[in-house]
Amino acid sequence: MSVLDILLKYYPAFLNGLEVTLQLSSIIWGLGLFLGTLLAVAGTKFKYWIGIPSRCFSFLLSGIPILVFLFWLHYPAQSMLNLVINPFYTAALTLTIVNIFAVADIVRSALIDFPQQYLTAAKVTGLTKKQTIFKIQLPLILRTTLPALLMLQVVMLHTTLFASLISVEEIFRVAQRINAQIYRPVEIYTALGLFFLAVSLPINGFALWLRAHFTRDISET
Amino acid sequence: MLKATNIHKSFGNKDVLLGLDVSVKEGEITCLIGPSGTGKTTLLRALGGLDMPDQGTLDIDGTLYTFSPTHKDTIPDPWPHITVVFQSLFLWPHLTLRENILLPARNRWDDFKAMETELDGLIASFEMAHFIDQYPNEASLGQRQRVAIARAIMVKPKYILMDEITSSLDIEQVYKILTRLEELKGRGIGILLITHQIGFAKRAADHIVFMDKGETTESGNASILTEPKTKRLKEFLSMVKMAH
Ligand SMILES: Nc1ncnc2c1ncn2[C@@H]1O[C@H](COP(=O)(O)OP(=O)(O)O)[C@@H](O)[C@H]1O
Ligand SMILES: [Mg+2]
């Protein structure tokens, strides 16, 4: 059986797995980017209420393997709270939290390093606070952070595979299940590897291109 | 009137301004000249409400704000009523030059048609048509200087403070900007210009302040540039002449 044969025979299962993976990733990406950015902005504004606590939590999180965090939220947390949550949502929640704090870290350092002169220019020309944030700060920060953020999102896509370990039927688990039936690890995992390469490399390549492009663009001559 | 009296400012233990007086009247151009490192930019930032002086008084249109080591009045944001064109311009790099001008301008104009007309006039007189839709990093310093001036003009300020903004322009362009500044004067706008171009100051200024080492050494109308009274200004003028 070749890779093609396997795909032809099992494609509905693979498609289901792919769909779950993409759903999971979309939640993690969307919420992570949005809330992470918000957290970073709020953290610089409300330093004591949000900034410092969130950095402490982020520091704590950096010391816990994602898998342990995921399992901890899956078993101990739910049994303590007497809850049973669909593993899909547990995985989405865990990885979204990880993404939020990772995004916030990237955005926060960009905020701190933000060239003050652009804000001074916004001030003296009478831009409102809102305009300064949305028209000046965010676009410029996006340009400097986008490469790192994109690469992070690729890493987050890869971590969705951990969800298979709490029995979320995403693509890796589907692959494992099919492999258990037909025992074709070489073909199946090669196909899986190629799939992730095909998704990840363009994003990472784009990120590298952006980095080269915008770094030149923004430097003031 | 925008008036600073007895302004003191130090950075750490470095005393930069030692009791300076300067004022900018509506419809007048005040030129601030002096050697570099004497605190001209520091004074401009204080007048612009960006850095509070350690000591002294600021009078903004008749409202007094006083500063002392023990008490500092807070100034309600005076921008863009007072606006500043910085020596290093601070154009936003992600916006085209046109958008750099229009973004703040839109806040200040109700009639966008009239705004565009005004901008078209500026584009024509500052000869910006061929680069106005490019990004700041694609423009030369002289081009960016004209854009920064246009950006300040388009927010309809009452006072414009400008820090050596014609240094990279050729004589013809300086003359055009001068003409435009004189027109602004006519509209009652007060202008403070820091400049090294004595010829420019001579022609443009209603009032000239020569400062040296954080103090006002000599001030008056343009005649102080042809008949300086202090030795220090004489020396400065002859040095500037040699450099040009
Ligand atoms: N933010 C600052 N921190 C420390 N020193 C400063 C700062 N700004 C200006 N200075 C010092 O103050 C002096 C006057 O600077 P500046 O006002 O820029 O002079 P000018 O514009 O006349 O050339 C300089 O010696 C400069 O190093
Ligand atoms: Mg200066």
Which tens digits make up the pLDDT trace of A124-160? 999 999 999 999 988 898 888 999 999 999 999 999 9
Q: Inform me whether the pLDDT recorded for A216 exceeds 70.
A: no
Q: Cα dihedral sign for A133, A139, A145, A146?
A: positive
Give backbone dihedrals phi and psi of B81, rounded to 5 degrees, phi first. Answer: -50, -45
**Does residue B11 have its Cβ closer than 6 Å to ligand 1?**
yes
Token pair of B136, please?
């700041």
CA A106, CA A118: separation in Å to the nearest integer? 20
Residue A217: what pLDDT? 58
Which tens digits make up the pLDDT trace of A23-59? 999 999 999 999 999 999 899 889 999 999 999 999 9
Task: Please identify every residue whose CB atom is under 5 Å from ligand 2, which is an ion.
Answer: B 41
Q: Inform me whether the pLDDT recorded for B92 exceeds 60.
A: yes
Which tens digits make up the pLDDT trace of B9-22? 999 999 999 999 99
Which of B9, B10, B16, B40 is the best mutation target for the ligand 1 pocket, counting ligand atoms within 8 Å of the beta carbon and taking the most? B16
Q: Are residues B93 and A221, on separate chains, in Cβ contact within 8 Å?
A: no
- Closest atom of ligand 1 relative to the B36 alpha carbon: 23
Q: Distance, CA B211 to ligand 1 centroid (Å)?
A: 14
Which tens digits make up the pLDDT trace of A67-91? 999 999 999 999 999 989 999 999 9
**Does residue B39 have its Cβ closer than 6 Å to ligand 1?**
yes
* Closest ligand by atom to B20 CA: 1
Give backbone dihedrals phi and psi of B192, rounded to 5 degrees, phi first. Answer: -110, 125
Arithmetic mean of pLDDT over chain B: 93
Residue B244: what pLDDT? 67
Mean pLDDT computed over B71-89? 93
Residues of B in Cβ contact (< 8 Å) with A139: 94
Q: Inform me whether the pLDDT recorded for B106 exceeds 60.
A: yes
Give backbone dihedrals phi and psi of B189, rounded to 5 degrees, phi first. Answer: -85, 135
State pTM to two decimals. Answer: 0.82
- Shortest distance, CA A46 to any CA of chain B (angstroms): 21
* Closest ligand by atom to B51 CA: 1
Residue that is written with structure tokens 């410029």 in the block: A140
Share of chain B above pLDDT 90, in %: 80
Q: What is the ipTM of this complex?
A: 0.92
Tell me if chain B has a CB within 8 Å of the CB of A218.
Answer: yes
Amino acid sitting at position A79: S
Interface A–B counts its CB contacts (< 8 A) at 70
* Closest ligand by atom to B32 CA: 1
Burial B174-187 (b: 16+ CB within 10 A, else e): beebbebbeebbee
Residue that is written with structure tokens 């007060």 in the block: B190
Q: Which of A120, A126, A219 sits opposite B80 (nearest CB)?
A: A126
- CA nearest B150 in A: which residue? A125
Tell me if chain B has a CB within 8 Å of the CB of A215.
Answer: no
Residue nearest to atom 24 of ligand 1 (CA): B37
**Chain length of chain B:** 244
Residue A221: what pLDDT? 46
Residue nearest to atom 8 of ligand 1 (CA): B42
**Does residue B38 have its Cβ closer than 6 Å to ligand 1?**
yes
CA B89, CA B147: separation in Å to the nearest integer? 9
Token pair of A76, please?
């101990």
CB count, 10 Å around CB of A155?
A: 15
**Does residue B37 have its Cβ closer than 6 Å to ligand 1?**
yes
Are A31 and A100 spatial neighbours (Cβ–Cβ below 8 Å)? yes
Q: Are residues A127 and B103, on separate chains, in Cβ contact within 8 Å?
A: yes
Residue A220: what pLDDT? 52
Mean pLDDT computed over B211-236? 93
Which tens digits make up the pLDDT trace of B29-65? 999 999 999 999 999 999 999 999 999 999 999 999 9
Q: Are residues A126 and B88, on separate chains, in Cβ contact within 8 Å?
A: no
- Secondary structure string (H, E, C) spanning chain B: CEEEEEEEEEECCEEEEEEEEEEECCCCEEEEECCCCCCHHHHHHHHCCCCCCCEEEEEECCEEEEECCCCECCCCCCCCCEEEECCCCCCCCCCCHHHHHHHHHHHHCCCHHHHHHHHHHHHHHCCCCCCCCCCHHHCCHHHHHHHHHHHHHHCCCCEEEEECCCCCCCHHHHHHHHHHHHHHHHCCCEEEEECCCHHHHHHHCCEEEEEECCEEEEEECCHHHHCCCCHHHHHHHHHHHHHC
**Does residue B214 have its Cβ closer than 6 Å to ligand 1?**
no
CA A107, CA A118: separation in Å to the nearest integer? 17
A219: confidence class by pLDDT, cuts 50, 70, 90: low
Partners of B33 in beta bridges = B210
- Closest atom of ligand 1 relative to the B214 alpha carbon: 14
A218: confidence class by pLDDT, cuts 50, 70, 90: low
Residue A2: what pLDDT? 81
Which tens digits make up the pLDDT trace of B181-223? 888 898 899 999 999 888 888 988 999 999 999 999 999 999 9
Are B35 and B212 spatial neighbours (Cβ–Cβ below 8 Å)? yes
Q: Cα separations (Å) of B219 from A18, B161, B178, B182, B205?
A: 77, 18, 21, 21, 11
Residue nearest to atom 25 of ligand 1 (CA): B37
Higher pLDDT, B173 or A119: A119
| Those residues with Cβ within 8 angstroms of residue B157's Cβ, 6 or more apart along the chain or in another chain | B80, B81, B82, B83, B189
- Closest atom of ligand 1 relative to the B34 alpha carbon: 22
CA A195, CA A5: separation in Å to the nearest integer? 16
